[in-house]
Structure 1
Amino acid sequence: MFAVVQQTLAITAPVFSMLFLGVALKRLGWIDDAFINTASSLVFRGTMPALLFLGIVKADLSTALQPALLGYFVLATLACFLIAWGWAIWRCPQVDRGIYTQGAFRGNNGIVGLALATSLYGDYGLSLGAVLGGVVILCYNSLSAIVLAIYSPHVKSGPWAIGKSILSNPLIIGVLAAMPIAYWRLPLPDWLMISTQYFAQMTLPLALICIGGTLSLASLRKSSGIAISSSLMKMVWLPLLATLGAWLWGFRDAELAILFLYFASPTAAASFVMARAVNGNHQLAAAIIVITTLAAVLTINIGLLLLQWVGWI
């Protein structure tokens, strides 16, 4: 168990370091709001789509392809999204409902989920996690685009406008562009892959520094109640329901553990980038990311311990 704690800390510590670096750089005056706006736009429109594109292209879609597991994940994600959205309608001001919902269901699977799945189950965890990751990206970005468009004062919320916002979302375009290449294993020039990788590697440092630069004690205090509620939904209640549902569905051992890790991952940095792209309450999004990332060290390890104790994994 101590080894799993160390693995979780090893994965989340770099995230914290980049967040705190963003706080420090903003305090020192090395970055300002103009830089954060420009960098966030670059991440949303360029580097993050490139990162998602590479993740799909490099994944072997024929390996560990389990329709039942993928189908359950899609249904459970939709259920978690609807639960979070319903709670937000009941408990949140209208302007914050989209940010709350996205923060409560959208996990950081690319960093935390996949890394822990690989650490625990080796090549099998990597292959299954990578295939699941493609489904994760489409589900999360589509549902986030819908709920953010509905509550954004700057985005039209009719059915046609929402559909257009989903199809024009750079993150979804990156995924859709990669899928035929991955499926048919189409070769791409080495120079193009290497250049794209250089570009994509800027994503997480830039996004996390921007999140840190946005944080302030005043904004944290202002959004603390809503942020804590969304974080509890993300790190406790929804993983509990989704994992129990997976057990009832019949999943055991590695498959159940990997599903748990994906449902229990902290809120993704992409939620901040998308919130900023639609001029939403990005400070609330940043607070949710920080709280859930801190909580992940405790909740993920407790969850794995309980699953081992009851003999499910």
Structure 2
Amino acid sequence: MFSLYTVIEVFLQTLATTLPVFAMVFIGLGLRKLGWIDAAFVNTASALVFKATLPTLIFLSILRADLDTAFNPQLLGFFALATTGSFALVWTWALWRVPRADRGVYVQGAFRGNCGIVGLALAASLYGDYGLSAGGILLGLVIICYNILSVLVLLTYQSEQKLRWGKILGDIARNPLILSVLISIPFAWWEVSFPEWVMTSGDYFASLTLPLALLCIGATVSVSAIRKESGPAMGASMFKMVTLPALCTLAAWAAEFEGRELGLMFLYFASPTAAASFVMVKALGGNARMAANIVAITTLLASVTVTLGVFILQSAGLI
């Protein structure tokens, strides 16, 4: 039986893990409101993170990793199955509850998490080097699964668009994050070393990633847009932030994952909807406002749901 002191101590430890991440998101929101950062800054900074600083961070993290620990085929296999199962569950629910025109947007918003930034930042905050290295390897799989499944469901309900698997697979193959994972694994396996000045410079550059990316996420959240529309957007958001993290984490625990592995998967399952989902919906001519609202709602909810989830799992001694 937990004493009140123990509960408070665990809760404070949880806040110490999650608050620094979400504080940066809310700072980004505040800076945009003040006019200190604008859309041009967000576009430039997001491109820098995606193309350069985040791949560098992943490369260095895996380079320093113990691959026997960080590379876990069982964890990767389970996450792929859980993601596919979540996708199928949400799509089945949408067939019953969501108007046809919005089903693709609803399904993508409900299952596609922002693992590349928020999930990885939380993993680093909770587990340090292990979170970055194991999370980076898992991220390669996540990108492939999310992109293929998202395009599949969106194009099912956008009949005027044609499915071009060659372009989709080409974009995935050229994704800087996937390339950084694939390139870094041989270097880590053969224990290739670089001069100290190269590693230090790389660390300086990579350290820009998480604060810059989190600021950009906050700057893209529109509270006013949320007020204009709820309904399906709120339903998809609750699926993403409550239902699926609970079901997938419970399934992972039943599959005998525990400790850091269970914690890492929970953080990825519980990440808010990726901003890339809005970009894809807009490109395919779907309900862009609904997609933007899902991103905004889940990002704001994450500060509460992720903190509570980590607190519950730590209190139960599962992570």
1:131-183: CA deviation from partner (whole Å, max 9, x where unpaired): 64244212211122224545489x97422121111111111111111111112
Structure 1 contact 145–165 (Cα < 8 Å) conserved: no
Pairing of 1:199-218 with structure 2 (within 5 A): 199-218=205-224
Alpha-carbon distance in 2 for matches of 1:76, 1:36: 32
Matched residue, 1:36: 42
Q: Which residue of 2 aligns with 1:121?
A: none
> What residue number does 2:147 align with?
145
Structure 1 CA distance, aligned partners of 2:138 and 2:265? 13
- C-alpha distance after superposition, 1:60-93 (max 9, x if no partner): 1023765444433332233234434554566372
The one-letter code of the counterpart of 2:68 is: S
**In 1: Cα distance, 2:124 partner to 2:41 partner:** 31
- What amino acid is the match of 1:133? G
Call closer, same or farther: CA 1:294–1:211 in 2, change over 3 Å. Answer: same
2:262 pairs with 1:254: no
| 2:292 alignment partner AA | Q
Instruction: Give the Å deviation of 1:33.
Output: 1.4
CA distance, structure 2, for counterparts of residue 26 and residue 143 of structure 1: 32
Counterpart residue number, 1:179:
185
Contact 2:28-2:219 at 8 Å conserved across structures: yes
CA distance in 2 between counterparts of 1:58 and 1:170 reads 19
Q: Matched residues in 1 for 2:206 and 2:217: separation? A: 18
Structure 2 counterpart of 1:295, one-letter code: T
Q: What is the deviation of 1:209?
A: 1.5
Counterpart of 1:297?
307
Within 5 Å, give how 1:1-313 maps onto structure 2: 1-63=7-69, 67-87=73-93, 91=98, 93=102, 96-97=105-106, 99-103=108-112, 106=115, 108-117=118-127, 127=130, 129=131, 132-150=134-152, 151=154, 157-222=163-228, 224-249=230-255, 251=256, 254=259, 257-258=262-263, 261-262=266-267, 265-267=270-272, 271-272=274-275, 275-276=278-279, 281=288, 283-284=292-293, 285-305=295-315, 307-308=316-317
Structure 2: distance between partners of 1:131 and 1:45: 18
Q: Is the 8 A contact 1:85 1:101 kept in 2?
A: no
1:229–1:304 Cα change, 3 Å: farther
What is the percentage of aligned positions where both structures have the same residue?
37
Q: Measured at CA, do residues 50 and 104 of structure 1 come closer, stay the same or move farther in structure 2, by a change above 3 Å?
A: closer
Secondary structure at the counterpart of residue 199 of structure 2: helix
8 Å contact 2:253–2:262 — kept in the other structure? no
Q: String of CA shifts for 1:97-138, please: whole Å, max 9, x gaps.
A: 4750454584844232454356xxxxxxx65x5664244212
Aligned counterparts of 1:183 and 1:30: Cα–Cα separation in 2: 44
SS at match of 2:68: coil
- Pick closer, same or farther for the CA change 1:18–1:115 going to 2, 3 Å: closer
Partner Cα distance (2:271, 2:34) in 1:
28
Number of residue equivalences: 297
Task: Read off the aligned partner of 2:308 and give its amino acid letter.
Answer: L
More displaced 10-residue stretch of structure 1: 34-43 or 138-147: 138-147
Contact 2:278–2:292 (Cα < 8 Å) also in 1: no
Q: Is the contact made by 1:76 and 1:242 (CA closer than 8 Å) also made in structure 2?
A: yes
TM-score by length of structure 2 reads 0.76
In 1, the alpha carbon distance for the partners of 2:186 and 2:91 equals 32
Q: Secondary structure at the match of 1:162?
A: helix
| C-alpha separation in 2, matches of 1:209 and 1:255 | 27
Shift in CA distance, 98/237, structure 1 to aligned 2, threshold 3 Å: closer
Consecutive unaligned residues of structure 1, counting only runs of 5 or more, are: 119-125
RMSD: 3.4
* Unmatched runs of 5 consecutive residues or more in structure 2: 1-6
Which deviates further from its counterpart, 45-54 or 102-111? 102-111
Q: What is the distance in 2 between the residues matched to 1:170 and 1:89?
A: 35
Any conservation in 1 of the 2:21–2:214 contact (CA below 8 Å)?
A: yes
